[in-house]
A = this chain, B = another copy of it.
Amino acid sequence: MENLEEKTITEETLFKGRIIELKLAEVALPNGKTAKRELIHHSGAVAIIPVTADHRLILVEQFRKPLEKTIIEIPAGKIEPGEDHALTARRELEEETGFASGELEYVTAFYTSPGFADELLHIYLAKDLYHPKERRTLDEDEFINVLTVSLDEAKQLMENQLIVDAKTIYAIQYLEMSLLKAQLEDN
């Protein structure tokens, strides 16, 4: 296979925020020519697929400023520096939904938008949900409604354009596939 690497010639940090950093790089292409690359650095996040004993999903409704609209998603949050992902998952699940999980299982991780950003999203399945005695509180700039929906209701929310993001659409497909597999085993 051809070597496809793009070597950095120069790199400049244009912005360093609370969530993202923006860098501009000049790179050497495999054919020796140069090109500019716009790069977003993000320290990574965790999302949780919280499934109840009767196969319902716990979702959160939240205003997303980049989209200028309120959408419905699986719970998720940014990994704090040095924090273990499984801990982030437990913390965000509790903060956003009020549920704790007796059974947390790693599902997968994916880069959300590798063309311009390095955000890596780790996904966990949370089962055996219960309400802990003391509820953690949300970050002071977070405002959230919690919903519990069946798989069919979740698919209806997709139809209605209220579920519109990659991780939640992945989660719905994941749950649907688990149920299909169980059905095939029963056959």
Whether a CB of chain B sits under 8 angstroms from the CB of A25 is yes
Q: Which of A48-56, A80-88, A137-145 contacts B (4 or more CB under 8 A)?
A: A137-145
Query: Interface on chain A toward B: helix, strand, loop, or mixed SS?
Result: mixed
Q: How many copies of the polypeptide does the oligomer hold?
A: 2
Q: Are B112 and A113 in contact (CB under 8 A)?
A: yes
Chain B residue numbers with a CB within 8 Å of A31 are 143
The one of B65, B113, B180 in contact with A166, judged by C-beta atoms closer than 8 angstroms, is: B113
Which 9 A/B pairs are nearest by Cβ-Cβ distance? A35-B141, A4-B63, A112-B113, A17-B38, A37-B65, A110-B166, A66-B118, A64-B114, A166-B166
23 A-B pairs within 8 Å (CB atoms) are namely A4-B143, A4-B145, A14-B22, A17-B24, A17-B36, A18-B36, A19-B116, A31-B143, A37-B65, A42-B116, A64-B111, A64-B115, A67-B114, A71-B111, A71-B114, A112-B113, A112-B165, A112-B166, A113-B113, A114-B165, A170-B173, A184-B187, A187-B187
